[in-house]
Amino acid sequence: MKRHLPLFLFTTVTLIAVYSQPGPVTPEELGSDLGIQVFNQIVKSKPQENVIVSPRGIASLLGMLQFGADGKTKKQLTTVMRYRMHDVSKILKKNNKAIMSRKNKDIVTTANAVFAKSGFKLEMPFITRNRDVFHSEVRSLDFENRTAASSTINQWVKNETKGMIENLVTPDIIDSALTRLMLVNAMYFKGQWKSRFQPENTKKRNFNGPDGKVYQVPMLSQLSVFRSGFTSTPNGLWYNVIELPYHGGSLSMLVAIPIEESTPLSAIIPHISTKTLQSWMTMTQKRVQVILPKFSAEAETDLKEPLKNLGITDMFDQSKANFAKITRAEHLHVSHMLQKAKIEVSEDGTKASSATTAILIARSSPSWFIADRPFLFFIRHNPTGAVLFMGQINKP
């Protein structure tokens, strides 16, 4: 991670917002709300560090996993994501198209992939739904050589993020005997400010770190018309908000900063949701002198504990996970879920990228089949299908 300690405060509330229609909450917003809640969990344990997450990356991965889940595992995913099942695929598909529309083509790219152990047989609907909704292709990968497997994944990620995310996974998180699948999402964003900052106006200024220290950092500056204003949390903590739009008109960076220096970000973050962001977009445009650090920051997040805290627990538990819609041959569970994200802000605009992965492994102990209750038996001639004997045993 690059050491830009003074910028920690800023980056934590820098969110890239995609405009949404007012009205009913969309699955896209629900997915982002989950990501914001994950972020809220993470910053609690890292109040003084840079934290960067991609809500959309998390939602995409969970969306892919949900197609393979069944029973309570699926219920937890859909409950926490607040997805109602039948229409969600169609809407996600439509939104994917909107976010990556021709107008945004050079700006946002997303790629999803399922890397499966060579020869591993996947349930067909899992493959087709992921292809249909997430454009996710299945590739086969030999996990026995952990170095080669992690390098294949990292190469794929690096390519899809145009070099921004390197080394998403290390060989030690792959189990050469038990790893069956890796689901991966990569996202890349490049936006040019609609109103650029002049390089000659960039000057070193003081930035007050959360640790009480003052740091000299390069700050961008411009006087221009922006949507901005101030608002407060329900418990009366005031903060300023500004919208910095990107060229093309559909993407913006929104920056929020508490008005009182004594108000920590942690007092504001729990009150932020997609609805809050939407409400910021109703602020009026006015002339504002903006001063914003020029920065670059990268962070890696283990998503397992935050997701468990939010109620997605079973999929991580080898005795409870139910991924029967991925395969019925073995019991799978998620051993790791990780995300790496990076952002660079300069006079010209912003580059940001993220990669998210979930690793599915088979249960290490053999599964059990205990006939300790009444059972049925059939003696079958397999080549012809003839049943030679059958029975019910109530008293062995």
Ligand X SMILES: *[C@@H]1O[C@H](CO)[C@@H](O)[C@H](O)[C@H]1NC(C)=O
Q: Which of residues 82-141 bind ligand X (CB under 6 A)?
A: 109
Smallest separation (angstroms) from ligand X to the CB of 32 = 23
Binding status of residue 160 toward ligand X by CB under 6 A:
yes
3-class DSSP state of 106: coil
**Count of residues touching ligand X (by CB under 6 A):** 7
Residue 162 beta carbon to ligand X: minimum distance, rounded to whole angstroms: 7
Contacts of 218 (CB under 8 A, 6+ apart): 202, 203, 204, 293, 294
Stretch that binds ligand X, among 83-91, 132-140, 156-164, 313-321 (CB under 6 A): 156-164
Whole-number Cα distances in Å, 317 to 62, 334, 361: 16, 8, 11
Q: Which stretch binds ligand X (CB under 6 A): 153-161, 258-266, 279-287, 359-367?
A: 153-161
Among 45, 118, 128, 147, binds ligand X (CB under 6 A): 147
> Could you say whether residue 148 binds ligand X (CB under 6 A)?
yes
CB 44 within 8 Å of CB 247: no
Angle (CA) 45 295 267, round 5° = 35
Q: Tokens 């991966």: give the residue.
A: 184
CB of 108 to ligand X, least distance (A): 12
Among 159, 170, 176, 282, interactor with ligand X by CB under 6 A: 159
How far is residue 319 from each of residues 2, 309, 325, 364, measured CA to CA in Å? 39, 19, 17, 10
- Tokens coding 205: 């200024």
Stretch that binds ligand X, among 28-36, 88-96, 155-163, 225-233 (CB under 6 A): 155-163
Q: Which is nearer to ligand X, 157 or 241 (CB)?
A: 157
Pick the closer one to ligand X by CB: 1 or 148. Answer: 148
Residue 252 beta carbon to ligand X: minimum distance, rounded to whole angstroms: 24
Single out the segment in contact with ligand X by CB under 6 A; choices: 46-54, 143-151, 225-233, 342-350: 143-151
Nearest CA-CA partner of 256 in 222, 286, 230: 230
Q: Are residues 74 and 322 in contact, defined by beta-carbon separation less than 8 angstroms?
A: yes
Alpha-carbon 11 to chain mean position: 17
Q: Does 167 bind ligand X (CB under 6 A)?
A: no
CB within 8 Å of 63: residues ≥ 6 apart: 31, 81, 92, 133, 134
Binding site for ligand X (CB under 6 A): 109, 145, 147-148, 156, 159-160
